[in-house]
Amino acid sequence: MQISGLPCKHGAAAIVYIREKVENYCDAYYNKDKYILAYSGMHSSLPNLDTLDDEDVLPPHCIDFQEGQEKIEKGKKMRIHHQIQGGFQQLDALIIKIYDTIEEDVKELQ
């Protein structure tokens, strides 16, 4: 806290442990009143919202529920497809390994 004016994580844990507010142990520089004072001239408020026309406001983009469900199902199918492909690749590698082992054993017997 000596450098930043804020308690470290261990200090904050101790403060919470004794059921105090961490804010009470911070430098006054970090309180809400100082923040409002520092930024009061920089923020311009919105114009009177009653004067805005509804036509000027764009509606939020809404996705159709059915379309969303279809995308989810497609994603699930793609994940399953990739898992199956990965399983086949592992199976192919195992078969090749077994075949090579059998081939080596046959050579030794000859």
pLDDT of amino acid 81: 81
pLDDT of amino acid 18: 92
Q: What is the DSSP string of the chain?
A: -TTTSS--HHHHHHHHHTT--GGGGS-GGGSHHHHHHHHTTTPPPPPPGGGS-GGGSPPPP---HHHHHHHHHHHHHHHHHHHHHHHHHHHHHHHHHHHHHHHHHHHHH-
pLDDT in tens, the chain (110 residues): 566 778 888 888 898 889 888 888 888 877 778 888 887 776 566 666 666 666 656 666 655 667 777 888 888 888 888 888 877 788 888 888 888 888 887 777 77
pLDDT of amino acid 63: 57
